[in-house]
Structure 1
Amino acid sequence: MQYVEHPLLREGKIERRIYQEVIAAKASEKNTLVVAPTALGKTIIAIMVMVHVLHRRGGKILFLSPTKPLVHQHRRSIIEKTKLSEEEVITLTGEIPPEKRREFYETSKVIVSTPQVIENDLIRGYLNLRDFSLVIFDEAHRAVGNYSYVYIAERYVREAENPLILGLTASPGGEKEKIEEVMRNLYIENLEVRTEKDPDVRPYVHRIEIEWRRVQLPRNFREIKALLTSILRDYLSVLKKKGYLETRDMRKVSRKEILELASKISGDPEALIAQANSVRLMHALELLETQGATPLRKYLERLKETSLGRGAQKSLRELVSDSRFSRVMEILKGINESHPKMKELKRILSKELFGDKRAIVFTQYRDTVKEIVNELSDEKGIKPIAFIGQANRSGERGMSQKEQVEILEKFRSGKYNVLVATSVAEEGLDIPSVDLVVFY
């Protein structure tokens, strides 16, 4: 394997990829927007442009990224791959006092920061962009409207003697107008688009092997499924009879179609009840078939609890009073076993994880993340850790950006070898390379 050589790069750290070198060479001369999917090495291109500019022109570099985890991630990549010292590459967030930030602006070569901090410091007069030779805008598709990127780019072009801008994005937005707005706001002169299918990229894309594993639902799961399906068919029949659906065949009716009916039904209480409960039952069936008895029980218990409250919807009270609903709750109380997928997951991970191998298990719901982590924690050789999104949901707190960074670092270092995550990997976050991915 060949590596990129440069006076400011550590030896053997950046694999030589022709398309990255071509883009970096162009981006070192003109304001450039790089559009490429995740894993094609946009950050590597940024580092190559950065060392070229520092070596040829000197000055300072500003590397902007929208979230704290990304800021810390980029700083780590720069220090790992270049000969710049920790003191020369610093991260800035709003938590650092203004006086300390002013000091960093004077003494550092590379500043990695969230854009809001830089925008505020420019407005307050703490920072002048005159001496910056390059500004990098990560997740550049955000450079629209009133977002901080727009103001910073305008100030940079106005203040710097010889400004150079590099934008990085995996998703510039589908509309031509949006792409044009981003390019206009970042003063882009050169657009570089790459996909995994491009001839110069294809040699570096690894083939992924996908294998399906099918499991049989146990008898009590099948009994619950039959009861929930029976209630759902009754409600779908109401919607068909009233002309809102063409069929009551569940295989031909999607949840999206039922959700969209809400805006079409008006002044028909019976149809509205049928629509609302069809959505609930479809979700319940999905939980049973894909996640197991525990997530389903928690969901149905929440419905029952809500139905007892003041102002509860008539549709909800009707659903929980159905004798078949009560029978489902009864059966669920007697189920202690996990979804059969859990047993298969344990078997796969026990077989595949040896030495320093790592895996990611993606699942749709946070309740299932907890269940998987609890189940895997007892397995020899498997060290799982949960990774969820930042949003707070129904009284449950999401992970802070700091917690996400710490967890990924522990996973990267080998303290944990299985990352159990909701399929929300946050925008741009660098998930460490793994040997196995399981979609649970």
Structure 2
Amino acid sequence: MACIKAFTVIDVINTVTSLAIDYVDFNPVNITAYVLNQFGIPVDCGEVIFNLSGNIVPVNVSDGVANIIYNFTSCSNEIFAEFNAIGYGQSSFNQSINLNPKGTIIYLTDITTIYNGYEYKIKLTDDNGNPLSGKNLVYTLNNVTDTLVTDENGEALLNINLNDGVYVIEIRYDGEEIYLNSSNSSIINVKSSINLPSSNYTYGSKYIVSLLDKDSNPLANQTVSIVFAGKTYNLKTDSNGKASINITLKPGTYKVTIKNPDTLEEKNQTIKVLKRITENKNLVMYYGAGSSYKVRVYDDYGRIAKNVTVKFKINGKTYSRKTNNNGYAYLKISLKPKKYAISATYKGFTVKNNVTVKSTVITKNITKKKAKTIKFTAKLVNYKGKILKYKYIKFKFKSKIYKRKTNAKGIATLSLKNLKRGKHVIYSTYGKLTIKNTIRIK
């Protein structure tokens, strides 16, 4: 019995593939593959395999067309398209294209910001304004160089954590084969969130510090930690972001540390507590000299205090005197010979000294053995301490008045006879000054 085998022969339909490429010097590139059969009729099946400079992308054919829009990463590119379908002959087409490198722009702005309170935005686009994502941006700021990567919007954010000051930020994009390099720079002005006050103070003044939040607004009604002269204070700010400490320290140098709870900025300051009153000295003067006790006065911040009232106290009485334009206040001394304590007070700060008024009639208490004649002497000088020659001094002894002239040495002598044993009182007067002494006879 014979075996008969039957074979069915299917003819393969030939195809033709062609390319249409649409672009203007640069990405994106619109690539269209047209596939026709041997009769010139569009093929409506299969797929075109695109080899785009080594990147394989399959695209289904519909009504004789396979289309792709593609961004190349190099300027010189090879495009190869190959059609495949069951029952159809394979066909292909290739073409070379050259893209021109695209310019790029880095967008920066000059800013003023607060310490630790800002994210600085950088944007990279091509020269048509299209954002470039995934690109490395190299920045240099405050002598530090690092790299940022752009996001899908072509943006990169940089946290500003700098102390107060003015900084220049430099950004560069090194470019790629299809993107040209670019660079830019801008100014970043960082303001401190802690506004330190003056560094000079006097007793009874206030140390006042102002603080800002991250948005540059006053840090109102917040607790702030201040270490002042080794002691920690937790102070609440007012509605203007201010906190204050009363200064009751002795003159000297002290350290202050302040921490902003919102920005976490910390600042140190060295302050000086100065004497509120200076140039006070002990005063030694002769009676009638018209000398003045002098002090110099300073305000809360160590500056000369003009036209302010100073209280002087001496011999049980209080006097008010105003300072002049140089901060000096004077109290004229018109007291009798004696040593006095004097004080000057301004805004709770007091200085003390001694005022010694020396007599211009110089005498001594004397003790003598009983004798026929006892001599009592008085030396006379003027308000400068120079001897006064040939001037009369009045002596009062036992209700009698005696006048005696000073000699060339300024000394006047009174001779008293037959004094009884015991203590006797004698008064010596010149001008308005009278001095009392005793004479003791043994």
Larger Rg: 2
Q: TM-score, normalised by structure 1?
A: 0.17
Q: TM-score, normalised by structure 2?
A: 0.17
Structure whose residues are more often strand by fraction: 2
Structure whose residues are more often helix by fraction: 1
Q: Using CA pairs under 8 Å that are at least 6 residues apart, name the structure with larger relative contact order, 1 or 2.
A: 1
